[in-house]
Chains A and B, each alone.
Chain A
Amino acid sequence: MNEWAYTAAFFIFAAVTVASAVGVVTKNDLVHSSLLLALCFVGVSGLYVLLQADFLAAVQLLVYNGAIAIVFVLGTMLTRRSIRHGTNHSEADAPSRLIGLISGLFVAVTLGVIATTPWNYSSAGAVQDTPAVLGRLILTDYMIAMEVAAVLLLAAMIGAIVLAKGVDEE
């Protein structure tokens, strides 16, 4: 029963993720695309839960849905377009077909690689209490990476403010 529920949950989340990702590309309206992107993030966070990465799932919801998706929608609100239709072109012209073909090939290669690789399966079970483990790692081993991440956030914030404010009309 448990196994069955797990498999069912996996396929539901996977279907949600893939379907909404396809929708992001094919929808003609930028706002619809960004909302579908938010749905895609939810699907991914569901997959994280199934992998027993509960903290990562929460972060995915907090950061991607709570912040990134909002920024997308806000960004479209700043545009001057009065008609939303056609804000996200997805015509079946030659370049898009080519890109579609390349993406398809890439998916095929990926699947082939997964099938042919002799994976080393780890015998250790899933980590319990992931936030504690992650907390210890970023505060000890990855201390430098964490401090650099702070600088990264600072630099991104300064750069974004300068570019978003634009030229001062003085």
Chain B
Amino acid sequence: MNIALLTSEIAVLVLGLLIIIFDVLIPRQETHRSLGYIAACGVLAILVHSMTQYGAAATVYQGLFVVDNLALFFKQLFLAATFLTLLFSVEYVEKWIQNSGEFYALLLFALLGMMVMASANDLITMFIGMELMAIVFYALVGFELRSKKSSEAGMKYLMLGAASSAIMLYGMSWVYGFTGSLVLSQIAVKATASPAMLLGMGLMLAGLCFKLSIVPFHMWAPDVYEGAPTPITAMLAMGSKAAAFAVLIRVFLIAFSDLQEYWATIVSLLAAASMIVGIVVAIWQTNIKRMLAYSSIAQAGYILSGLLAGNVAGVKGMLFYAVLYMFATAGAFAVSTAVKNHNGSDEIEGFSGLAQKSPLLAVVMTISLLSMAGLPPMAGFVGKLYLFTAIADKGYLWLVILGFVMSMISVYYYMLVVKTMYSKARDQQEFVVRGSLQVVAVISLLASLFIGIYPGPLAKLANFAAQALW
């Protein structure tokens, strides 16, 4: 056994435990802001450390836990997402959340769950990682104890999430019952297109689609995204989704790769439905978090379509898109957090005059939204290009055309937000932005532009990671 392979996970765990211990030992308030920064610094250090792990495809314990380039790519994505979230959440937590120490520690435990999901090569390890992430999010969604909406959202997410976990677990039990194995590569060997196998696969797909908020399993997303504390909404969109994609890629391209003719049609329909519903319904939203929730449903549809290619190019497109979506989401939610800290509301109306008060945040929001819409020269354009070329090669031209039309429509409602920001300010209150939030905004801005103009390095890395599967 090679403990060195697990250093990132162990470091995240120790960091989380330390934060809990500090929280208990340090007298209340005052120093608690530093806990957020300690966590952020720790995560950054782990992110830097994980760079050294590339290249070594190795497994721990008879292949039940793999540390390959694909897993590492996803882990770095989660680490980066958590780092950005921790940075821009400090002020929000101070203002709206009472249990700050627990908040940061639980966020790190969720990160640990995601990292386990990315590496899991058998259904049990995968499920436990997923449950760790999910249980933490059930709690964190309801963490804003003074807000009724937050508690309601937490309750909803718990109920529906538990149901989806049960469905997924039931699906796994069918797959295990038929193949007699829990390890993905062995399932692949024994999988045949029998009714039991297909039922198990369908149930697992439904459970995963819930986590990805793919239509028609998206019902929870708008309410939960709206009620949850804004940094948690951001993590749900960036982290939870990417982690579910990590599992989806491994399960469907390794364990169920021979059954592709059976799942391809369903997956293409799910992706198309998500693009349509996510983008059309978003037009009528007046709450920024609800709008971003619908937008994230559509984005999940775009990423999901990459699975249809079933080759390196498709997975590369998915990975590439997941990263750029992570940066765009971090930017958009950092700005939303700043606005909420300023005027206590999540309505799009509240953004009016942002361009006068804080030109930087307005620019960041604009770039992030346009990156999601996929306009050149932002990163989203290149990401969509990779995804669309990969699936067009496999004959899904109709999906490409649909995706293109839908992203054109999405520009409309993203522009509505931009228009609000550049309209006249309602009040003359001074707009104060904490330095750490500005750092996140600048990182997101630079990343969205850099990846858009010079996609080479990230594309190369994504390609490198995608090859780990074949």
Residues of A within 8 A of B (CB): 109-110, 112-114, 116-120, 122, 140-145, 148-149, 151-152, 154-156, 158-160, 162-163, 166-168
Contacts and interface: CB of A to CB of B under 8 A. Distances in A.
Contact of A154 (B99, B109, B125, B131): B109
Contacts of A152: 113, 128, 131-132, 135
B195 A162 contact: no
Q: Please give me the 3 A-B residue pairs with the lowest Cβ-Cβ distance, nearest first.
A: A159-B139, A117-B196, A113-B195
B347 interface: no
Interface of B: 6, 13, 16, 20, 60-62, 64-65, 98-99, 102, 105-106, 109-110, 112-113, 116, 124-125, 128-129, 131-132, 135-136, 138-140, 142-143, 145-146, 154, 177-178, 180, 190, 194-197, 199
A106 to B, nearest CB: 10
A141 B182 CA distance: 12
Contact of A142 (B20, B98, B125): B125
A107 to B, nearest CB: 13
B61 A141 contact: yes
Contact of A120 (B20, B132, B154, B178): B178
B112 A151 contact: yes
Contacts of A155: 106, 109-110, 132, 135-136, 139
A148 B125 contact: yes
Nearest to B196: A117
B20 A159 contact: no
Given A116-B195, A145-B124, A158-B105, 4 more contacts: A145-B64, A152-B113, A155-B109, A155-B132
B104 to A, nearest CB: 11
A155 B135 CA distance: 8
Nearest to A168: B98
A44 B278 CA distance: 41
Contact of A119 (B16, B62, B136, B178): B178
A34 B79 CA distance: 42
B5 to A, nearest CB: 10
A159 B135 contact: yes
B353 to A, nearest CB: 33
26 contacts: A110-B199, A113-B199, A114-B196, A117-B178, A117-B194, A117-B195, A120-B190, A141-B62, A142-B124, A145-B128, A148-B128, A148-B129, A151-B13, A151-B113, A152-B132, A155-B110, A155-B136, A155-B139, A156-B139, A158-B106, A158-B139, A159-B135, A159-B139, A160-B139, A163-B143, A167-B146
Contacts of A160: 139
Nearest to A117: B196
A87 B110 CA distance: 35
A143 B109 contact: no
Given A117-B178, A151-B109, A144 B199 contact: no
B64 A144 contact: yes
A144 B65 contact: yes
Q: Taking chain A's interface residues, is the majority helix, strand, or loop, or is none over half, making it mixed?
A: helix
A80 B61 CA distance: 51
A152 B109 CA distance: 8
Contacts of B145: 162-163, 166-167
A98 B470 CA distance: 45
Contacts of B143: 162-163
A144 B131 CA distance: 14
Contacts of A117: 178, 194-197
Contacts of A167: 98, 145-146
Nearest to A116: B195
Contacts of B154: 163
A159 B158 CA distance: 12
Contacts of B177: 119
A114 B16 CA distance: 45
Nearest to A156: B135
The winner among A112, A141, A149 for most chain B CB atoms within 10 A is: A141
Contacts of A109: 199
B239 to A, nearest CB: 15
Contacts of A163: 139, 142-143, 145, 154
A118 B98 CA distance: 56
B195 A149 contact: no
A159 B107 CA distance: 11
Contacts of A122: 180
A99 B199 CA distance: 20
A44 to B, nearest CB: 14
A145 B125 contact: yes
Contacts of A114: 196
Nearest to B190: A120
B180 A120 contact: yes
Contacts of A112: 195
B61 A144 contact: yes
A135 to B, nearest CB: 15
Given A144-B64, A145-B125, A156-B135, A162 B196 contact: no
A145 B122 CA distance: 10
Nearest to B146: A167
B277 to A, nearest CB: 21
Contacts of A151: 13, 16, 109, 112-113, 132
Contacts of A116: 195
Contact of A148 (B106, B110, B113, B190): B113
A162 B100 CA distance: 11
B138 A159 contact: yes
A97 to B, nearest CB: 19
